[in-house]
């Protein structure tokens, strides 16, 4: 009788473990769909709109570069990201040091920007991004 109860408890624990694995896999699949979607073709236009609102003075940006979208491990999952390097004006018209930022995507659209991304973007293959240098207010 005790053995039957023990077998039942083991069977219940195994069923719960398998159900938990299925739930975890469903969560991973949802995250892959959410963050693993290739950025939409107009992603550069979206980044320009983000930068126009992000920068205190979007006029006169210098030395602007951008990488192609790439999957990078962010917060324990692979996410599509783009690295942007630029030199922007700070208060008083002076230029701040060059900055690397990381643009994160969600469902193929720009989600948000992360500052101080030098480490995350250390291996990025940058290309000129003249559109960022020609921003207006």
Number of residues that make up the chain: 137
- pLDDT score of 15: 56
% of the chain residues with pLDDT over 70: 76
Place 7 in a pLDDT band, splitting at 50, 70 and 90: low
Same domain, 57 and 90: yes
Based on the structure, what is the number of domains in the chain? 2
Same domain, 59 and 116: yes
- pLDDT score of 109: 94
Same domain, 47 and 87: yes
Beta strands in the chain (DSSP E): 62-66, 70-74, 77-87, 99-106, 109-114, 127-128
The model's pLDDT over 19-46, given as tens digits with 9 standing for 90+, comes to 555 554 554 555 566 788 999 999 999 9
Same domain, 87 and 112: yes
What are the tokens at 100? Answer: 């690397």
Same domain, 30 and 53: no
The model's pLDDT over 78-91, given as tens digits with 9 standing for 90+, comes to 999 999 999 999 87
Same domain, 58 and 112: yes
pLDDT, mean over the chain: 84
115 versus 75: the higher-pLDDT residue is 115
Same domain, 53 and 20: no
Same domain, 107 and 50: yes
19: left (phi over 0), alpha (psi -120 to 50) or beta: alpha
Same domain, 27 and 50: no
Mean of pLDDT values over 54-76: 93
Range of the domain at 129: 43-133
Same domain, 77 and 127: yes
Same domain, 31 and 48: no
């Amino acid at each position: 009788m005790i053995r039957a109860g023990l077998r039942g408890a083991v069977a219940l624990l195994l069923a719960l473990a398998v159900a938990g694995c299925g739930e975890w896999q469903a969560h991973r699949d949802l995250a892959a769909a959410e963050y693993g979607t290739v950025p939409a073709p107009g992603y550069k236009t979206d980044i320009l709109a983000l930068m126009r609102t992000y920068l205190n003075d979007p006029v006169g940006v210098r030395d602007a570069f951008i990488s192609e979208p790439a999957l990078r491990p962010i917060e324990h999952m692979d996410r599509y990201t783009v690295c942007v390097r630029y030199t922007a004006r700070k208060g008083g018209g002076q230029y701040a040091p060059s900055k690397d930022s990381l643009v994160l995507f969600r469902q193929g659209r720009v989600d948000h920007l992360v500052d101080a991304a030098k480490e995350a973007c250390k291996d990025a293959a940058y290309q000129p991004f003249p559109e960022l240098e020609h921003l207006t207010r």
